[in-house]
Structure 1
Amino acid sequence: MRFELARIFLLERKQSDVFERRAADGSKLNREQWLRGVFSQEIDFIHRKSERRFVPDQSRPKGEQRIVARIGRKTLSHENDPDDHLREITREQWRACLVIIDPTSHDDGQKVAIETSSIVGSGFGNFESLITTINGRSPPEPFVIELHSITDQTTFWEYIERHKGKITSITLEVVMPNMFGGSSSFEEDAKRLRDNEKARRIKETIENEDGLEPDTERMRDAVSYATRGGGKVKAKAKGTTPYDSTKDKKYIDADVNDESKDLNQKTEAAMAAFNKDKNDIESEIEG
């Protein structure tokens, strides 16, 4: 099974609502508490004009901190009943893709692994529609969710190096920082815009038809932030195809037999792949 990796960013709403979701004692929920509350319930939503259902799996192993869930689509199966002269019958059938959510705040936290299954269409697209439904609730939730794919920044710098002197524009679209805890100049500038101007997103384009020189510390910080799931990056060079980070998404693969009927085995394999990716990221950070 293959899973697409994405990052969840939570942006606090400017004004709270008297009916918004809160803790049992009436206090405000932190980001992790809110994510656990939201994704612990079944949610019906629409994706491409078709009904979908998000269902959390409450049977996860004891002590497991990640949220395991599935997004399902109902279909009608046309069959012939052997007990009724092979007459045609129609019955409901559900197909689903697996979703694993890490709601915790750490260097590689608030990450989602979404099965790239054609059973329900694009797994990422389905999850995007789920997020849209949550963001559009009334009364509004205390946070707005921003979802971005995690991509590979090395391909961006390979593009820059390959077309050195011919880069005419670079566009960054990022959500305001609230979880990576970085202290780069780019993140500090973004935090000031978030805190002072109350900005939620930044879209920044730099251009020079005679050629940019983007290999700077600030640009490296910005691209690193975006490709870790903070947004997306685009670049244009003379005489060649533009670069788009959303076309270079990061995936993990779970070692499982696609024909296996053992759902627990599939889930365990997916969790192991998700955990391996987390450990790999932490090793990179420590190194």
Structure 2
Amino acid sequence: MRFELARLFLLERKQSDAFERRAADGSKLNREQWLREVFSQEIDFIHRKSERRFVPDQSRPKGEQRIVARIGRKTLSHENDPNDHLKEITREQWRACLVIIDPTSHDDGQKVAIETSSIVGSGFGNFESLITTINGHSPPEPFVIELHSITDQTTFWEYVDRHKGKITSIALEVVMPNMFGGSSSFEEDAKQLRDKEKARKIKETIENEDGLEPETERMRDAVSYATRGGGKVKAKAKGATPYDSTRDKKYIEADVDSENRDINQKTEAAIEAFNKDENEAVVEKEV
């Protein structure tokens, strides 16, 4: 069973609303508290002109701090009733994909794993439509969510190496830093734009028809930031297919016994795969 990994970036709204979501004591919610509040309720939304429903699972494994939920799609099943002369009947059916959200604020937190199931269409696409609905809540929520796939930065540098001297354009689109805790020059510049100019996104394109030299410290920092879920990277080279980081999405595989695929086993296997990926990310950072 495959899950796509994506990052949740929470951008604080410039002005608060008197009726925005708050803690029970009236204080402002931090990012983790707000995520837990928002994703603890059922949410109906539209994806590709069709109704969907987000439903949190309150019966998640004991001690599990992540948010376990499902996105469901209602369909009509046409069957024949064996107890009524095999007359045709129509009844509602719900099919769903599994979603696991890590709302915590550690360096690899605020991340989501979305089952890549065709049962409800694209899992990522459904979750993206859910985020659009949350961002459009009235009264406005205290945060805006930016959702980006986590991708493999090695493929970008392989593209650069393969077309050395022929790269004519590189485009970056990233959201403002709020959680990686990095101290690179790129992230520091982005933080300045966030704090002083109140920017939420940076879109930057560098071009040279005679060929760029992208192997710089700043570009490495920018690509690293984007591929960890901070945004997107595109590149063009003479005589070559353009590069797009969103084509190299990161996935995790959950080991599910196809002969005994009950719902608890499926959820526990997905959480185990999520744990493994986060542990590996911590090891890579330490190295």
User: Aligning the two structures, in what range does the TM-score lie when normalised by the shorter sequence?
Assistant: over 0.9
Superposition deviation, residue 196 in structure 1:
0.7
Superposition deviation, residue 60 in structure 1:
1.1
- CA deviations on 1:53-90 (whole Å, 9 max, x unpaired) are 00000011222110000000000000000000000000
Partner SS for 1:182: coil
Superposition deviation, residue 286 in structure 1:
1.0
Q: Within 5 Å, give how 1:84-123 maps onto structure 2.
A: 84-123=84-123
In the alignment, what sits opposite 1:74? 74
Q: RMSD of the TM alignment (CA)? A: 0.7
**TM-score, normalised on structure 1?**
0.99
In the alignment, what sits opposite 1:55? 55
In the alignment, what sits opposite 2:200? 200
The 1:77–1:34 alpha-carbon spacing in structure 2 relative to 1, beyond 3 Å, is same
Q: Within 5 Å, give how 1:212-231 maps onto structure 2.
A: 212-231=212-231
Partner SS for 1:246: helix
Q: Within 5 Å, give how 1:99-178 maps onto structure 2.
A: 99-178=99-178
Partner SS for 2:62: coil
Partner SS for 1:76: strand
Distance 1:78 1:130 in 2: 29
- CA deviations on 1:233-270 (whole Å, 9 max, x unpaired) are 00000000000000110000001134544100010000
> Is the contact made by 2:20 and 2:139 (CA closer than 8 Å) also made in structure 1?
yes
Distance 1:186 1:18 in 2: 35
Distance 1:166 1:48 in 2: 39
Distance 1:183 1:259 in 2: 48
Distance 1:65 1:248 in 2: 29
- CA deviations on 1:144-198 (whole Å, 9 max, x unpaired) are 0000000000000000000000000100000000000100000000000001111
> Is the contact made by 2:61 and 2:268 (CA closer than 8 Å) also made in structure 1?
no
> Is the contact made by 2:105 and 2:179 (CA closer than 8 Å) also made in structure 1?
yes
Which amino acid is the alignment partner of residue 186 of structure 2? F
Distance 1:70 1:149 in 2: 19
Distance 1:261 1:76 in 2: 24
Superposition deviation, residue 230 in structure 1:
0.1
In the alignment, what sits opposite 1:41? 41
Following superposition, which runs of at least 4 residues in structure 1 exceed 2 angstroms of deviation?
A: 257-261
Work out whether 1:189 is the aligned partner of 2:189.
Answer: yes
Distance 1:189 1:265 in 2: 45
Work out whether 1:244 is the aligned partner of 2:244.
Answer: yes
- CA deviations on 1:7-34 (whole Å, 9 max, x unpaired) are 0000000000000000011000000000
Distance 1:146 1:243 in 2: 22
Distance 1:83 1:204 in 2: 66
Which amino acid is the alignment partner of residue 19 of structure 1? F
**TM-score, normalised on structure 2?**
0.99
Distance 2:26 2:259 in 1: 48
Which amino acid is the alignment partner of residue 179 of structure 1? M
Structure 1 alignment gaps of length 5 or more: none
Which amino acid is the alignment partner of residue 91 of structure 2? R
The count of corresponding residues between Structure 1 and Structure 2 is 287
Superposition deviation, residue 282 in structure 1:
0.3
Work out whether 1:257 is the aligned partner of 2:257.
Answer: yes
Partner SS for 1:158: helix
Which amino acid is the alignment partner of residue 139 of structure 2? P
Distance 1:2 1:129 in 2: 20
Superposition deviation, residue 124 in structure 1:
0.2
